[in-house]
Amino acid sequence: MPELETRAAERPPVRIALGIAYRGERYHGWQSQPGGRTVQDTLERALSEFAAQPVSTLCAGRTDTGVHALNQVVHVDAPVEREAFSWVRGTNRYLPPDIAVQWCQPVPPTFHARNSARGRRYRYLLLESPVRPAIEQAGCGWTFRPLDGAAMQAAARHLIGEHDFSSFRSSECQAASPVKTLRSLQVSRRGAYWRFDVDGSAFLHHMVRNIMGCMVAVGSGARAPDWMGEVLAARSRDAAAPTFAADGLYFVGPYYDAELAIPQHTPAMDWLP
């Protein structure tokens, strides 16, 4: 028996990936802070309760205060052996209603939630209405000015490709380089709601919200579509519009090499317009 216990203790932990959905308005962003009021702190407390020992996580993309996530991916070196469905249901038992594990699956020991990602997707939901949101408060941004979709689409084209995105970078950004690749920025409308779907290699701090500030400036007619190119070329945060609200920003999630079979869809993606 002692030999079996020793071998069990020496068994390397199994790395698992988890998909997490959350609403961000009650939290000070993703990353752990001393006060403990972050998504990471809340998730790690729940995982540790379920595993009956400390569990730490590493995520695919840190989100700011007020930003939501549909499929945040984290990896964990599991200190105990459990079935995948047990990690989902067992952890959710200890989580508040606005955070939930969506799925779990084993991954190779070399898998890294952040470094293995081939890209990341964000979605911004914006209400165009003379009246501020109520039912969807904190779940969408808001503008009372009518927006021109064609103008915003023209502005978006200036951002596609590899660029220095310093003009859309927060002064608090810790990224090693401002050069990122924006693969697509799609603008669509459903009723009173505009949807902006952004796909890129990686994103700077506040990058999507700063782009949104400029998109709304163009859409409302305050700026011409070509102004977006001028902002990009300036490589200065002073050239861009103010940072837009976090309320309507959703981290849709990262994506990986196909052979990893990491889920890219969660039920909330069908719910969100």
Catalytically active residues, by annotation: 64
Structure tokens at 9: 């203790």
Element (H, E) at 9: helix 2-10
CA 105 → CA 51, 76, 151, 165, 260, distances in Å?
16, 11, 43, 35, 10
Q: 146-182 burial by CB neighbour count: b if 16+ within 10 A, else e?
A: ebeeebbbbbbebbeeebebbbbbbeebeeeebebeb
Strand partners, 143: 128
- Packing angle, helices 149-157 and 207-219, rounded to 10: 130
